[in-house]
Structure 1
Amino acid sequence: MQSPIEFSVIARDDGARAGRLVTGHGEVATPAFMPVGTRAAVKAMAPDELWDMGYRMVLANAYHLAIRPGAELVREMGGVASFMGYRGAVLTDSGGFQAMSLAQINSITDDGIRFRSHLDGSLLMLTPESAVEIQQHLGADIMMALDECTPYPCEHGRALKSLDLTARWAERSHAARISTTQALFGIVQGSVYPDLRKMSAAQITSIAFDGYAVGGLSVGEPKPAMLEMAALSVSMLPADKPRYLMGVGTPADLLAAIAMGFDMFDCVLPTRNARNGSAFTSEGRISIKQAVHARDGRPLDPACDCRPCRTHSRAYLRHLFMSGEILAARALTEHNLHFYANLMRGAQAAIASRTFAAYAKDVAAGWPVKEAAEGA
């Protein structure tokens, strides 16, 4: 089957690469960050606002949309992009991450993941075949094969068993795909074990997926282990296919992963941290809750031209947050996503001009050492 997406690398700077990903809903410049819209909504933001920031692809979750409102309903509404009123592309996670994050309401067998709905207790059996079928109904531009994401810590034997299951599910997911207009990515697992990462990469890349992802990282493991496993994994992925690092991360993590050769990213940090009063800025992370901002008339980030930075002071944003006003979450989310969009645009331009190392160093220079290491 001919791939329904087109991917080309248009510039390189050592390991970093800038590219062009063409989907059924338009072109995405890479490296690209995808805001997380689990239930077909990026919290506190309207789809047209995301588009205006420059985001051309967002992430939604097949498990959550299958539970509510149901994949069939979304299909009747023209697919997830049409349903949410978004002009760009949508990537859907298969629900494999929920096997870990919702472990208390699921059980895993060779057949798939048996969930008990977190809403009403009803049963949902998610198999490689049904996960692909759900994503086809959702109309995702890029679908993900069902995998098992192991937690940290995870014993080697347990990780090996999970890896074998992920490999078998990958083959079944690939066989189940019937859509000629939707891409399907496979996922490399293996926890923090180099031998398992190599084994998983060999297994998954032996299947002709349209792109390849690296999962099972940023789940509690030490930062050096995450970076080591990410670098090892990406080194074994095909150079002519998009490479996606799932669930990562902080600005420092993203720049490090771009230098490794990753093209796509998603993470809840910019939106979740915003709702908790935390802002990413060119000067490091700011907690708007701190009393030091109570009489501060400066914007969140003097170097930022987003709407909140143009119109609101830190003092006002702190007042909103401490008062429980919804506008605080809106403003901080808008700012953080604007920051991440600019981070990606800067990376693309720096790769094109072969100045990425200097760009990454300049960005890191604005971050205190402790913040750069800990991120959120």
Structure 2
Amino acid sequence: MPSLEFELQKTSIGSAARAGKISTDHGEILTPIFMPVGTAGSVKAVNQQQLSKDVQAQIILGNTYHLYLRPGTEILEAAGGLHGFNGWHKPILTDSGGYQVFSLAASRKIKPEGVTFQSHIDGSKHLFTPERVIDIQRSIGADIIMAFDECPPYPSEYKYASDSMKLTHQWLDRCIERFESTPARYGYDQNLFPIVQGGTYEDLRLASCEYISSKNAPGNAIGGLSVGEPPELMYDFTALCCSNLPVHKPRYLMGVGTPWNILECIGMGVDMFDCVMPTRNGRNGMLFTTKGIINIKNKKWEKDFSPIDNGLPGELSNYYSLAYLRHLFVSNELLGLQLASIQNLSFYLWLVTEARNQILNDNFVTWKNEMIPILQQRR
């Protein structure tokens, strides 16, 4: 039996939005949930204590490709896995590296055996097979690990998307075989999620949902979206996948997205999200707030001594002023990057928590429709 359990607690009136609870060996996760991205074992500019206390994160991500290259599995194993290495003792999810391989299109070769690629660090050559990816994720020790997939670009010809989907399914079978034939490490269980692919072709997505569902995994992911397609297509295919994946298993939409993307996709039945946007945009001076988007570098904030975001319950959002945060950015002070990252992550976690509350109170659709125009406005 897998250690991950999912309790579906409520489905919204008027939409497919759900509130649930995921239980893992490292703790519970209330859904819908946003997962901060800690690609190399660290969420950029934010330490683990801040993630737990200020951001209220319940689960974070690591990445197989990056952790394999640095620090490497030998060091991770000696530390007792990523939990022991980075001191984060709540749940962790690891992406299999399929998306990173996708982004290395100029320096990788895809074959049925696996993917040969060059390291972005030193140019050295490496081979990722489904079996190797499972072995690496066993060494990392995340609570939720992802199957190795091939992510087709947008746009893709039908034949490419079809062949890519079939390859992803073949690799999934090999991932499952390897996963079931190897023990979990470090005294707790891991859980393997397969990934739906198929590009922007309805018949392929339906076929992939059917194949992935037949594996009876503890949860399922939707991949290959938010790769350049128009938002309308992302929404259409997210809704299609959600309506064809098991109801009583968590659904994870990979790499999405803006606050309004997240609210729309919650309404379609997605439970789990991740994206680098809150930290990446924060480091560039874009703040997501409960009243809209701020470019903190703008001169209009120079003498604005109001809190960064008094709509958030977090202490830091109310302790520092917009004027002070602008000063940090124009002075190139590192504290500015940290505070902006904490603000954005705190906002994202507030957003999904509030969505959950609205689902439980049967008010999600009305609240979502009121919130999206506010969140999209530029202040």
Partners of 2:344 and 2:84 in 1: CA distance:
25
1:263-318 CA deviation, whole Å, 9 max, x = no partner? 11100111111011000011211111222222222222232243443222222211
Aligned to 2:221: 213
- Distance (Å, rounded) in 1 between the aligned partners of 2:300 and 2:351: 27
Q: How does 1:197-236 map to 2 (within 5 A)?
A: 197-236=205-244
Match of 1:331 in 2: 339
Q: What is the CA distance between 1:186 and its match in structure 2? A: 0.2
Aligned to 1:105: 107
1:49 equivalent in alignment to 2:57? no
Q: Distance in 1 between matches of 2:324 and 2:39?
A: 30
Identity %: 44
Query: Could you tell me which amino acid in structure 1 is paired with residue 98 of structure 2?
Result: G
CA distance in structure 1 between the aligned counterparts of 2:313 and 2:293, rounded to whole angstroms: 17
Question: Match for residue 26 of structure 2?
Answer: 25
C-alpha deviations, 1:335-368, integer Å up to 9, x for none? 1111011111111111111111122123224234
Q: Which amino acid aligns with 1:40?
A: G
Matched, 1:4 2:3: yes
Query: 1:8–1:297: structure 2 CA closer, same or farther, 3 Å change rule?
Result: same
Q: 1:75 aligns with which of 66, 69, 77?
A: 77
The residue that corresponds to 2:201 in the other structure is 193
2:260 and 2:376 in contact (8 A); partners too? no
Report the 3-state secondary structure (helix = DSSP H, G, I; strand = E; otherwise coil) of the residue aligned with 2:257: coil
**Paired letter, 2:283:** R
Matches of 1:174 and 1:91 in 2, distance apart? 17
Amino acid at match of 1:214: I
Aligned to 1:273: 281
Aligned letter for 1:155? E
Q: How many residues align?
A: 370
Residue 234 of structure 2 aligns with an amino acid whose one-letter code is M
Aligned residue number for residue 239 of structure 1 = 247
Give 1:374's aligned residue. Answer: none
Query: Distance in 2 between the 1:284 and 1:179 partners?
Result: 47
Do the aligned residues in 2 keep the contact of 1:25 with 1:88 (CA within 8 Å)? Answer: yes
Report if the CA contact (8 A) 1:105-1:115 is conserved.
yes
Which 10-residue stretch deviates more, 243-252 or 8-17? 8-17
Corresponding position of 2:361 = 353
CA distance in 2, matches of 1:10, 1:326: 42
Q: Give SS of 1:179's match.
A: coil
Q: What SS is found at the alignment partner of 2:98? A: coil
In structure 1, C-alpha distance between the alignment counterparts of 2:95 and 2:303, rounded to whole Å: 43
| Amino acid across the alignment from 2:7 | S
Task: Give the aligned partner of residue 183 of structure 2.
Answer: 179
Pairwise mapping of residues 59-74 of structure 1 onto structure 2 (< 5 A)? Answer: 59-74=61-76
Give the Cα–Cα distance (whole angstroms) in 2 for the partners of residues 54 and 303 of structure 1.
16
Maintained 8 Å contact 2:312/2:350 = no
**Which deviations, in whole Å up to 9, do the C-alpha atoms of 1:133-183 show, x marking residues without a partner?**
100011110000000111112111111111111010111111110235110
Q: Distance in 1 between matches of 2:17 and 2:319?
A: 36
Decide which of 303, 306, 309 is 1:301's aligned counterpart. 309
SS at match of 1:92: strand
Q: Secondary structure at the match of 1:366?
A: helix
Determine whether 1:13 maps to 2:21. Answer: no
Unaligned runs of 5+ in 1: 372-376
How big is the alpha-carbon RMSD for the aligned residues of Structure 1 and Structure 2? 1.5
- Give the TM-score of the pair, scaled to structure 1: 0.95
The Cα of 1:200 is off from its aligned counterpart by: 1.2
Q: Distance in 1 between matches of 2:375 and 2:64?
A: 36
Partner SS for 2:229:
coil
Specify the alignment match of 1:40 in structure 2.
41
Counterpart in 2 of 1:253?
A: 261
1:217 partner SS? coil
Distance, in Å, in 2 between the alignment partners of 1:40 and 1:128 is 22
Q: Secondary structure at the match of 2:160?
A: helix
The one of 270, 287, 290 equivalent to 1:262 is 270
- Partners of 2:278 and 2:360 in 1: CA distance: 26
Tell which deviates more after alignment, 162-171 or 44-53.
44-53
Partner of 2:321: 313
Q: Cα 1:368–1:182, aligned 2, differ >3 Å: closer, same or farther?
A: closer
Say which of 159, 167, 170 aligns to 1:168.
170
Deviation at 1:113, TM superposition (A): 1.1
Kept in 2: contact 1:308–1:332 (CA 8 A): no
- Name the CA distance, whole Å, in 2 between partners of 1:252 and 1:23: 28
Shift of 1:218: 0.6
